[in-house]
Amino acid sequence: MKILFTVGGSQAAVFGVAPLAAAARNAGHEILLAADEPLMDAARSVALPAVCITPERMRYGQDALTATDRIDALLEVTRQWTPDLVVGGLSHVPRLLAARLKIPFVRHIWYIAPMARRDRTAVAELQPQLERLGLSGLPEPDLFVDLCPPALRPPAAPAAQSMRWVPRVSQRRLEPWMYTRPEGRRRVLITAGTRNLMLDTPGSSLRRMVDTLTEAGAEVLIAALPEAAERHRAELGAVRIGWIPLDVVAPTCDLAVHHGGATTAMTLIHAGVPQLIHPDNGYGRAVAEAVSGYGAAVLVDGHRPGPGQDPHEQTAAACRDLLDNPSYAQRARTLAAHSAELPTPDDVLRRIEALAAR
């Protein structure tokens, strides 16, 4: 079978689809990843064969603005490499492609934020493309694969095939401190993922956060893009900063402070690590609300501080609470255990194979 995987947006989309794509490849299927130019390096880093379809990064909610170019590029790819099935994510363009080719479509996403209204808007905006391609409508996905643990899904989320999160990130040569816990100290990881250079903490500074944690006796690691590490290393003192593979370091951490990104949050959930989430957009806030609602995280929104509240003091108090109150670690471990019981990518692949065999 030939499976076309399609992604757009951030590197998280590549990392999220990589385990299923690798499972398909290991099972003997041919795979191809169609992605935006800014995602080519991420695809190469996780060993996915990828072809560029657009020069710029696609953003969710911009289907109508980029649909013509993306559809034409995908149609050109499929004229040269004919798939038996299409796997897509947040964008509905791959779904339209599958309808045009009359082959099964699998939607593969992390459904933690309510998106029904945004989906309806996106589908309505694609109406001109439906007419252009001679399609009467956009059918429902043949299979909906959700990476979000059932306990964190929104109440109105559609029925889906759950799949276990398997961490995938760009790697580097490892050093022992990355995969071992420090003796006699707790470890706190700070990261803004791959989309931002540094964690945005309004009203405060990263240095103040680091000082607060080190004064409490914690070892602080900052996982950051190389360009961010080079820019901020001098001002942060004796702190390890740079590209640290999150899947390797997460199991050694007692707390992680981050922005609410999908890859970051799910890799920490997989490792059973309590989280302090500073959301930098509405999606990150939905992530923070879901994980904190389960009791495995604390949400601190520096963009919306309460009356008389200092964002830095909020963060400091939340860090102390997360490190000293064992209930957060217990809930994080419980969530990790439930997630580990979900079907693997190999299990889900068997359902996908059955679709193509109809």
Least confident range from 5-14, 98-107, 195-204, 328-337: namely: 195-204
- pLDDT above 80 (res 235): no
Same domain, yes or no, for 210 and 351? no
Domain count, the chain: 2
Same domain, yes or no, for 202 and 284? yes
- pLDDT above 70 (res 246): yes
pLDDT, residue 79, reads 96
Query: Among 167, 136, 151, 83, which residue's Cα sits nearest to residue 352?
Result: 83
Count, in order, helices (H) and strands (E) of the chain. Answer: 15, 13
CB 1 within 8 A of CB 23: no
- pLDDT above 90 (res 209): no
Same domain, yes or no, for 212 and 324? yes
Does the residue 124 lie in any domain?
yes
The share of the chain scoring above pLDDT 90, in percent, equals: 59
User: For residue 194, what pLDDT band results from cuts at 50, 70 and 90?
Assistant: low
Same domain, yes or no, for 129 and 154? yes
Burial 179-205 (b: 16+ CB within 10 A, else e): eeeeeeebbbbbbbbbbeebbbbeebe
Same domain, yes or no, for 181 and 153? no
Tokens 């580990």 identify what position? 340
Q: Please write the tens of the pLDDT for every residue from 283-341.
A: 889 999 999 999 999 999 866 656 556 777 888 899 999 999 999 999 999 999 999 99
Comparing 164 with 262, the larger pLDDT belongs to: 164
Mean pLDDT, range 46-61, rounded to an integer: 84
pLDDT, residue 204, reads 55
Mean pLDDT, range 103-123, rounded to an integer: 85
pTM of the model: 0.91
Same domain, yes or no, for 148 and 196? no
Least confident range from 41-50, 53-62, 143-152: namely: 53-62
Instruction: Give the DSSP H or E segment for 276.
Output: strand 275-277
Burial 84-120 (b: 16+ CB within 10 A, else e): bbbbbbbbbbbbbbbbbbebbbbbbbbbbbebeeeee
Does the residue 170 lie in any domain?
no
Does the residue 169 lie in any domain?
no
CB 190 within 8 A of CB 209: yes
Comparing 57 with 285, the larger pLDDT belongs to: 285
pLDDT, residue 201, reads 59
Q: Please write the tens of the pLDDT for every residue from 247-285.
A: 999 999 999 999 898 889 999 999 999 999 999 888 889
Mean pLDDT, range 233-243, rounded to an integer: 80
Same domain, yes or no, for 148 and 281? no
Same domain, yes or no, for 215 and 292? yes
Q: List the domain range (segments joined by +) for residue 225.
A: 176-340
Same domain, yes or no, for 119 and 196? no
Same domain, yes or no, for 40 and 143? yes
Does the residue 334 lie in any domain?
yes
What CATH number is attached to the domain comprising 147? 3.40.50.2000
pLDDT, residue 101, reads 94
Does the residue 31 lie in any domain?
yes
Does the residue 171 lie in any domain?
no
User: Which of 196-210, 227-241, 267-281 has the largest mean confidence?
Assistant: 267-281
pLDDT, residue 231, reads 75
Distance CA 59, CA 271 (A): 29
Same domain, yes or no, for 25 and 40? yes
Same domain, yes or no, for 201 and 335? yes
